[in-house]
Amino acid sequence: MKIKFLIFCFLSVAAFSGFGQTQAVISTKKPLTDTSAQKGFLGGRLSTGLEEHVEGAKKIKSEGKAIIEDLGIKNLGIKASMLARRAAKKSPPKDEYAGVKTERRLGNYGSGTRNTQEEINVVKYVEDEAVSPYVAEIWWFDPVQSRIVTGSLKDNKSAQICHGPFRRVVNQNVTEQGFFFMGAKDGRWETYGPDGELLNKQYYHHGFPVESTVSYYDTEQKKIKEVIPIVYGKVRGQYRAFYASGNVKEEGMLDDSVRVGRWREYYEFGSGGRLKKEWRYGKDKFDTKEPELVQERDAQGKIIYQQKNTLD
């Protein structure tokens, strides 16, 4: 009775709107209720003919799930998501930095409120050491002093090159932390005050401020020509220029692009040392006094000029 009532309503609407002469056939399959002799809205057909497709899709999904479970794979999407998160959280080995094996060292010196402890990592195997000739400041662990130091590595057999995380603790307060790459500062470095407040933060890349402008002699970028230090957008820090041989040509400090302090020029080679000239500039960028020549030497290392008063 309900179906007949609905058909009657459709026929009435079609007659009223003038659509009674139009037939719209959506499916060629015979519906469950045979209304093929009736005419009107949708030709009297109440079925879309898609019911069998829906049932087929449900069957395929059910069969697919059964196959996956037979293979022993359950909650595949959840497991894949968990594995992806674990892979993202996985940290590099603690005894390795930048692909190089390291060993941990502990430094301890000073007493009372000045007691200092250093957590250091050094290159584990000597054959892996590859100290850059272009970096002025190389840090290494001295087992005799039980601390890290910087200085010449020439003929120093006890030097253990710093490589990896570093932290300094004074009177149980962290005062400095960062990373080393083959003895040179690398990554983020931070210094802290006595109350744990952050005093300074700076970023390095293999010994140079990360924003520095570096020019090269070769297209492979292995032979450095000049390093202009840039810190937070300003030219500040140690400037260095090199000969093609890798020997230092000139070096000194810059303060907002202004030369300050001691500057030195070098011969590329020299039998009695390579120092050529030493200049003294103002103490900071606001000091406008003219630079003074402190000393000059010839290629054999002989002093050919010496300023009478060399005190700063």
**pTM exceeds 0.75 for this model:** no
Closest CA relative to residue 120, chosen from 173, 171, 159: 159
Per-residue model confidence (pLDDT) at position 137 = 94
CB environment 40-72: b (16+ within 10 A), e (fewer)? bbbebbeeeeeeeeeeeeeeeeeeeeeeeeeee
Q: Which residues contact 261 (CB under 8 A, 6 or more apart)?
A: 252, 253, 280, 281, 283
Instruction: Per residue of the chain (312 residues), give pLDDT as tens.
Output: 555 555 555 555 555 554 444 444 445 554 444 444 444 444 444 445 555 655 666 666 666 666 556 555 555 555 656 666 665 566 667 899 999 999 999 999 999 999 999 999 999 999 999 999 999 999 999 999 999 999 888 778 889 999 999 999 999 999 999 999 999 999 999 999 989 999 999 999 999 999 999 999 999 999 999 999 999 999 999 999 999 999 999 999 999 999 999 999 999 998 888 999 999 999 999 998 999 999 999 999 999 999 987 555
Q: Which residues contact 231 (CB under 8 A, 6 or more apart)?
A: 202, 209, 211, 237
Give the integer Cα–Cα distance in Å for 273 and 300: 7
Give the integer Cα–Cα distance in Å for 25 and 272: 105
